[in-house]
Amino acid sequence: MGFSGASTTDGGPEPDAESALLPLHQSPKPEDKFNLAYIIYFTLGVGFLLPWNSFITAVDYFSYLYPEASVDRVFAVSYMVVGLFCLLIIVFYAHKSEAYMRINIGLALFVISLLIVPVMDAFYIKGRVGLYDGFYVTVGVLALAGIADALVQGGLIGAAGELPERYMQAIVAGSGGSGVLVSVLRILTKAVFPQDADGLRKSAYLYFFTSIVFMVICIVLYNVVHRLPVMKYYKELKIEAIKEENVEKGPITGPVWRATLWNIVGTVKWYGFGVVLLYVVTLAIFPGYITEDVQSSILKDWYPVLLITAYNLFDMIGKSLTAVYLLENAKVAISACVVRLLFFPIFIGCLHGPEFFRTEIPISLLTCLLGLTNGYLTSVLMIMAPKSVQIQHAETSGIVMVLFLVVGLASGSVIAWFWVI
């Protein structure tokens, strides 16, 4: 059984989108001056995960306000299930809408969802415990943020799929940077604010207002990058490819589009399988194992905070390494995702094995390795998948990969409650 990365949706050899279409577009390719487009895509990658990270990092405060609610479970379900449902809709109707509009709408929804929580706290909750109307509103806000995530993440990764691989690498590396940023904020708030009700409230405010400012910056930057000559150049390549396909096959609508969509899914399915497997392993172990199942008599309650920071740092390093070396063999990359299943017995050994394996050094090294492999292989698969289809279908393939990613996240989160740790 071969991996479908070796063929296109039409069954031919994998196309080099740029070399195949340059004869259609005679103007010279503009430069990405000062790497501005790359920097903006990295920043946008940081941005689209910040809202979720803000909610989940402030979970201690929400747990204090609503002690009878399973806050972390409900948050994950409301965010991921709504996001998954919206991604399914987007996949089927992406060809009828512009990514530019979807991304702008999603960024605006992020700002609204992030504003509601601190405003509600300032004027209604006021730090009081047990006002469960506030909890229901917060869950609704999480669902709104899930819609925004589907629009923004699906749109950005889909758009990056039409561009040279360095821009997909920038977005994926930026998503790793989001975790590092939140970890730094978590360390800062733990060091500065007391870990009581007032300190937790101030910490939550810092997370949310930092995210709001960052999302406003993302709105500005996205509308700047959309107008850069290098972005316009690749958009014209896509338009010319679509025109050529319409001449050959007729407009892609209705049943024709559904057939095309299934061809795209068939082409990227092995890359998607790898991504699902990556996040099943990662989310089954992180962060639950690290926050609940390991202890340190030396670092005490700083131990899980530092482990989470280490994971996020090495995840970002892994996602950045593809800028230096990109593994281009799909079979090797997907096989590496399968090999990561060994993390399950290894981490079990850190709980129930010899005394040495239960100490800080082995657990810290394994946590860093978990992050490094997750980051690198995620970046490899997300870069390779859109390049396995024709440029006019690269956006849809990118959205499909996000769909696989969310399935992996959701599955891993569920397995985290049941596996032996």
The string over 41-55, giving b where at least 16 C-beta atoms fall within 10 Å of a residue's C-beta and e elsewhere, is bbbbbbbbbbbbbbb
Predicted confidence at residue 419, as pLDDT, reads: 60
Residue 1 has pLDDT above 50, yes or no: no
What region does 72 belong to: left with phi over 0, alpha with psi -120 to 50, or beta?
alpha
Residue 10 has pLDDT above 50, yes or no: no
The tokens describing 315, both together, are 């995840």
Predicted confidence at residue 73, as pLDDT, reads: 77
Measured CA distances, 398 to 271, 352, 372, 379, 386 (Å): 11, 41, 22, 12, 6
Mean pLDDT of the chain: 87
Predicted confidence at residue 321, as pLDDT, reads: 97
pLDDT digits (tens, 9 = 90+) for 194-216: 888 899 999 999 999 999 999 99
Residues 48, 51, 52, CA angle at the centre, nearest 5°?
95
pTM above 0.85, yes or no: yes
- Where residue 20 falls among pLDDT bands split at 50, 70, 90? very low
Predicted confidence at residue 16, as pLDDT, reads: 45
- Sorted by where each begins, the domain ranges of the chain are 29-415
| Percent of the chain residues past pLDDT 70, beyond the cut | 90
Task: Judge: domain 29-415, CATH 3.40.50.150.
Answer: no
pLDDT digits (tens, 9 = 90+) for 232-264: 998 888 888 878 877 766 666 566 777 888 999
Q: How far is 204 from 13, CA to CA, in rounded Å?
A: 51
- Where residue 287 falls among pLDDT bands split at 50, 70, 90? confident
The CA-to-CA distance between both ends of the chain, in Å, stands at 34
Segments in 10-131 forming alpha helices (H): 17-21, 36-57, 59-65, 71-93, 99-120
One-letter amino acid for residue 391 of the chain: I
